[in-house]
Structure 1
Amino acid sequence: MTAKTSALACRGGHRSTIDAALSWVLPDMEGQPIAEAGFVIAAADVMIHLGREAGVAVRVQGLRRYYAALLSRDGMLRLVRQRDEERIVLAETAFAWSLERSYDVEVAAEGDRITCRIGDATLTARDGSAAEFRDGGIGLLVHEGALSSNDIRVTAVRA
C-alpha cells in the first residue's frame, strides 16, 4: 500500500495551539488481519517545517489513541503510547534533528514490540500492558506546527 501526500499543515496563531493527525485504515494483508501479520510503515522524506513534536503513528485507534515515533523540539526521539489524556514514554534517546530537513522514518509494529529507525538510530520498546493496542491504522502527527512526507509505504513484516 502506498499513499502519496503533499503536506499536512496546521499552523497555530500566537495564542492558539493546533494539533493535527492524518491517518489511514489498513486493509488485510494477504488474507491475514494486520493485527496478526504485523507491519512496517516507511515514510520517506518526512520533513518537519514547524512544531513542538511530530512523527509517525501506528496502531492508530483515534486522535488520542496510538503508538508514535516522535521527534521532539527538546532533541529527543521517543516511542510513546498515547491513550486519551495519558501518554507513556516507552523508550527515548537523544536525536539531533533540524527543521526543514528530510528524514526517512521506519516504524514497525509486531506483537507487543514497536521499533523505529531513522538513519543509524534505532529505538525499540515493548508494551505488554493491559492498555496496549493490538491493531489500528497508521498516521502522521504534528503538534503546534506543520510536516510533510512525499511517500508512505506499508508492508507486512516478513518472518
Structure 2
Amino acid sequence: MGRSRGGLTTKIHVPAEGRCRPLALLITPGQRADCTQFEPVMDQIRVPRKGPGRPRSTPDSVSADKAYSNRKTRAYLRKRGIRYVIPEKKDHKAAPLRRGSRGGRPPVFDKARYKDRNTVERAIGKLKQFRAVATRYDKRGNVYLGTVTAAALLIWLRS
C-alpha cells in the first residue's frame, strides 16, 4: 500500500483485450506514476495461440491515455513493432514547435482507434464489481494481487 493525500491507496495496472478481459495484472502503491509501469505490464502479457507454439507477447495495437505520453513509451512500442494511439500532452505539443524544423514530426493520432481505449476502463469496472477488489481489505500486496487475479479469472470464465 502506498500513502497519498487520500490515505493508503493501491493502483491496479491492467492491459485489456477487445472484450474487456484483463491480460495481465500489476499492483503498485497509489503514488507510483502510471508511465513507469508501462513496460513491466506489457512484458507480462501472454496470450496462448490456438495451435502449437509459444504464447503471443506482442499485441496488435495499444491505446493508452495521456499518462503514457512520453518518449520512452513510444520508443518501446516502436522497437517492438506495436502500433499505438496515445494522445500528446499539451506541454509536449509546444516543445517541438519551439524547436522549429528540428522538432521532428508529431506522432500520428487516430481518433477512431482511440475510441477503443475505453475497454481498459470497462475491464477495471468489471474487476471492481468484486467487493474484495473494490474495497481492498487485504493488508499485504501479494494477497491483494491474488484477490484481483481470482476476479480476473472469473471474468475470463464468465465470458
TM-score by length of 2: 0.26
Which structure exhibits the higher relative contact order, with contacts defined as CA atoms closer than 8 Å and separated by 6 or more residues? 1
Structure in which a larger fraction of residues adopt strand:
1
